[in-house]
């Protein structure tokens, strides 16, 4: 959604800066997820030429290949600084570029949220047992881990989180952190907020 400063605002800032650095000779126009293609289908859209570029959290494509998580976030993984060090000085970007070549895509690191929160819940949690049977919007590798605790992971795009919580289609959701989460209104429909999001010590975005 366009009201999210961390995600869409960051992309708009990047597009503006790119235009300034090239004297307007190279420009990217930003669209919110869902305006051209559904947010969770942007990788295929780039691969197929529907759009030239996308900005995304690659762990959304975990179902295609689990290795996508390494370009985004893994449980108990690296901090933002450690991720950047691995990408630029530890051979990480080279490994990922080789991986992405199978999808006819070239990736560029494009932002990091830092450590995220643990999520919003419609009902309070008193023990790990309370997770059993809950449907939670949670992406990537984290969903696989939470499944082991009895939780039912759901992959849902940002704009669909609020109505899903409001209707009770899901019981909880994690997004990023208080600033953007409140813009989505998650605190209004799921008042219990927990931390930390150990499954996302940092979340790397890619262009």
The CATH code of the domain that includes 92 is: 3.40.190.170
Residues 42 and 107 placed together within one structural domain of the fold: yes
pLDDT > 90? residue 64:
yes
Confidence check: pLDDT of 45 > 80: yes
Q: In the predicted model, what is the mean pLDDT of residues 83-105?
A: 97
pLDDT of 4 over the 90 cut: no
Location of structure tokens 């991986």: 99
Let me know whether 37 and 129 are in one domain: no
- Domain-embedded: residue 186: yes
CA distance 113 to 157: 17
Cβ atoms of residues 149 and 23 within 8 Å: no
Question: Residue 192 sits in which domain range?
Answer: 119-201
Q: What pLDDT, on the 0 to 100 scale, is given for residue 16?
A: 96
Q: How much is the pLDDT for 62?
A: 92
pLDDT of residue 3: 84
Residue 132 in any domain: the answer is yes
Question: What's residue 128's pLDDT?
Answer: 93
Residue in this structure with the two tokens 């996308």, named with its chain if needed: 54
Residue 108 included in any domain: yes
Q: Residue 57: inside a domain, yes or no? A: yes
Which of 74, 90, 112 is the last residue before a domain boundary?
112
Domain count of the chain?
Answer: 2
What average pLDDT does this structure show over 52-59? Answer: 95
* Stated pTM of the model: 0.87
- At residue 25, the pLDDT reads 96
Residue 1: predicted pLDDT: 77
Co-location of 108 and 123 in the same domain: no
Shared domain check, 185 and 86: no
Q: Among 76, 94, 112, identify where a domain stops.
A: 112
The answer as to whether 207 is a domain residue is no
Closest CA to 185 of 102, 120, 94: 120
CATH of the domain at 146: 3.40.190.10
Last-in-domain residue among 56, 79, 112: 112
Angle between helices 80-89 and 92-100 (to 10 degrees): 80
Nearest CA to 186 among 112, 114, 116?
A: 116
| pLDDT at residue 41 tops 90 | yes
CA pair distance 141, 126, nearest whole angstrom: 24
What stretch of H or E contains 179?
Answer: helix 178-183
Question: Which pLDDT does position 106 carry in this prediction?
Answer: 97
Judgement on whether residues 99 and 180 belong to the same structural domain of the protein: no
- Which range is least confidently modeled, 5-9, 61-65, 122-126, 202-206? 5-9
Residue 169 in domain: yes
Query: Is residue 206 included in any domain, yes or no?
Result: no
Assess whether pLDDT exceeds 90 at residue 83: yes
The verdict on residue 19 lying in a domain is yes
Q: Indicate whether 101 and 12 sit together in one domain.
A: yes
pLDDT > 90? residue 127: yes
- At 140-177, the pLDDT tens digits run 889 999 999 999 999 998 889 999 999 999 999 999 99
- Across residues 81-106, what is the average pLDDT? 97
């Amino acid at each position: 959604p366009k009201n999210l400063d961390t995600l869409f605002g960051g992309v708009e800032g990047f597009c503006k800066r790119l235009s300034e650095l090239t004297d307007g000779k190279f420009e990217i126009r930003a669209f919110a997820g869902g305006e051209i293609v559904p947010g969770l289908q942007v990788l295929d859209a780039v691969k197929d030429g529907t759009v030239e570029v996308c900005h995304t959290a690659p762990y959304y494509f975990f179902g295609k290949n689990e290795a996508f998580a390494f370009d985004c976030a893994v449980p108990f993984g690296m901090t933002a600084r450690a991720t950047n060090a691995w990408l630029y000085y530890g051979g990480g970007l080279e490994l990922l570029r080789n991986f992405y070549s199978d999808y006819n895509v070239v990736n560029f690191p494009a932002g990091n949220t830092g450590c995220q929160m643990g999520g919003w819940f419609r009902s309070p949690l008193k023990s790990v047992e309370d997770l059993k049977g809950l449907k939670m919007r949670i992406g990537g590798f984290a969903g696989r881990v939470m499944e082991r605790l009895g939780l039912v992971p759901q992959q849902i795009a940002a704009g669909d989180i609020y109505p899903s919580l409001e209707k009770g289609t899901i019981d909880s959701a994690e997004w990023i952190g208080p600033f953007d989460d409140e813009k989505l209104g998650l605190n209004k429909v799921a008042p219990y907020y927990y931390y930390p999001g150990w499954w996302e010590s940092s979340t790397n975005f890619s262009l």
